[in-house]
Structure 1
Amino acid sequence: MIQPTVSLDGRILGPTREEWPDRRIEIVDWVNNAPDKFEVHIEVATDRPETFTDLLDWDDTVCDYEHFGAVAGRHRYIVEYTPTLPDIRAHNSVVDNGGIPHRCYTLDDGSWMVELSFTDRHSFGLFRDRCDEIGLPISLQRLQTVQNPDRGEYGLTDRQQTALKTALDAGYFDYPQEATQKEVASQLNISRQAASELLHKGLWQVLTETVGAYADSDSE
């Protein structure tokens, strides 16, 4: 597993960040509630919440927002965006390529710093290519490799195990086949390409840990 940290000058809260470049903003959650809207949960440390609210009213990237009060001086907001925003599409690409978004926060210059995890460099490369396609180039700041990530039985990741179980229950592995890869992807709420990769890597992992291990033992 690799853990890249990237910086990018995204569109989310762009005008707000230009007005308050030294104000730290952190995205704490991403929620896809409906096809036509996407909620981003943010926290900002400020003693002037009314000023920040005025900026949200003026920010043309924001569709709607709600203020949920503050804890220890950190104010929580739910900000609504359209799913077509490049930042939202980039987030979806992380998930589609088996990645996990961990932290997303602003730097002193107002740009975003994003900490992610991917199962391998190939998956991260697909995410980078997607960002370039949608006009949101990223700059790699740091890349860490985790030698022993937590995995389940047979070394499967949680996403691989979920994908394989969903495909099995849907009849994807039946003969004749009862469900297509596209239908499995729909149940998982990911792209067909992402489902294909999860199933392929999951099957490879199971076969390596079972059939492969059995073959190795026979050769000893």
Structure 2
Amino acid sequence: MGLIAEFIVDTPILRQVMAEVPDMKIQNPVIYPETNGEYKSMIWAWGDDFQCFEEVMDENQFICEYSTLTQVGKRRLYLVTLGNGAEDHLAYQVVWDNDILTFHMTGTKKGFEMRALFPNKDSLSDFRKDCLARDIPFRLCALYQEDKFSDKNKKNSQPLTGKQRETLLIALEQGYFDVPRDTTLKGLADQLGISTQAVSTRLRRAQQRLIRASFERDTSANRV
């Protein structure tokens, strides 16, 4: 049975970027090696000034080039080419060699908050050692057996459908819940490709489910 580890790593590459745009977040990078020794990475970025973010990337010694692939709301998808010794600060070779599955990764000024499935303790130990050897601080936050993590998720997961979760996330990112609002139901509807009535219904039902779940958790805690 594998191990699910939640941990934070802080690469020098991310450190340089986040020092200038501390409120920027980077989510779920996809990275793969090229035959010339460079690495390609696809990343979503949001939360801070894009112009400043791109100026920092222009000056970053490890970034050879980048391009904007698309923008969805307040998020931009970049294709980034890493080089100039970037491989010395990437632990991905250990990930590939040990069949480690990474299924959550969000970069902030604190580092990359990650969740990954490791085949065994040895692979987790190898990954940690490789991180430290590459000047990548590693902090383990939680560790679960794969089956127990699944049970924990079932108990603690939010009672939302996929569409409700997507709608809430987009509404939050677009500033629908801000005061004053940065977008409208029509703006959300246009982005989701559905009617304003459908957006309104999804938001209302999602909020009802979250409120009920919150009261149920509070009631259970009071019983304990």
Change in CA separation of 1:148 and 1:22 when aligned onto 2, cut-off 3 Å = closer
Q: TM (normalized to structure 2)?
A: 0.59
Indicate whether 1:5 and 2:6 are aligned.
yes
Residues 29-48 of structure 1 aligned to structure 2 (within 5 Å): 29-46=30-47, 48=49
| Deviation at residue 46 of structure 1 after TM alignment | 4.4
| Deviation at residue 35 of structure 1 after TM alignment | 3.6
CA distance, structure 1, for counterparts of residue 136 and residue 73 of structure 2: 34
SS of 2:12's equivalent? coil
The one-letter amino acid paired with 1:85 is: E
Q: Retained in 2: the 8 A contact 1:27–1:40? A: no
Equivalent position of 1:130 in the other structure = 130
Indicate whether 1:51 and 2:78 are aligned.
no
Change in CA separation of 1:97 and 1:55 when aligned onto 2, cut-off 3 Å = same
The one-letter amino acid paired with 2:95 is: V
Q: Retained in 1: the 8 A contact 2:46–2:74? A: yes
The one-letter amino acid paired with 1:131 is: C
Q: Retained in 1: the 8 A contact 2:14–2:111? A: no
Indicate whether 1:101 and 2:113 are aligned.
no
CA distance, structure 2, for counterparts of residue 21 and residue 131 of structure 1: 23
The one-letter amino acid paired with 2:74 is: G
The one-letter amino acid paired with 1:68 is: L
Change in CA separation of 1:60 and 1:110 when aligned onto 2, cut-off 3 Å = farther
Equivalent position of 1:144 in the other structure = 144
The one-letter amino acid paired with 1:129 is: K
CA distance, structure 2, for counterparts of residue 84 and residue 56 of structure 1: 13
CA distance, structure 1, for counterparts of residue 114 and residue 89 of structure 2: 11
CA distance, structure 1, for counterparts of residue 42 and residue 53 of structure 2: 15
CA distance, structure 2, for counterparts of residue 18 and residue 135 of structure 1: 17
Task: Supply the RMSD in Å over aligned alpha carbons.
Answer: 2.4
Q: Retained in 2: the 8 A contact 1:3–1:145? A: yes
Runs of at least 5 residues in structure 2 that lack an aligned partner in the other structure: 150-224
The one-letter amino acid paired with 1:135 is: D
Equivalent position of 1:61 in the other structure = 62
> Identity percentage over the alignment?
20
Change in CA separation of 1:71 and 1:123 when aligned onto 2, cut-off 3 Å = same
The one-letter amino acid paired with 1:127 is: F
The one-letter amino acid paired with 1:112 is: F
CA distance, structure 2, for counterparts of residue 51 and residue 29 of structure 1: 23
| Deviation at residue 81 of structure 1 after TM alignment | 1.1
Residues 141-220 of structure 1 aligned to structure 2 (within 5 Å): 141-147=141-147
| Deviation at residue 141 of structure 1 after TM alignment | 0.9
The one-letter amino acid paired with 1:118 is: F
Instruction: Count residues with an aligned counterpart.
Output: 148
| Deviation at residue 47 of structure 1 after TM alignment | 7.0
SS of 1:63's equivalent? strand
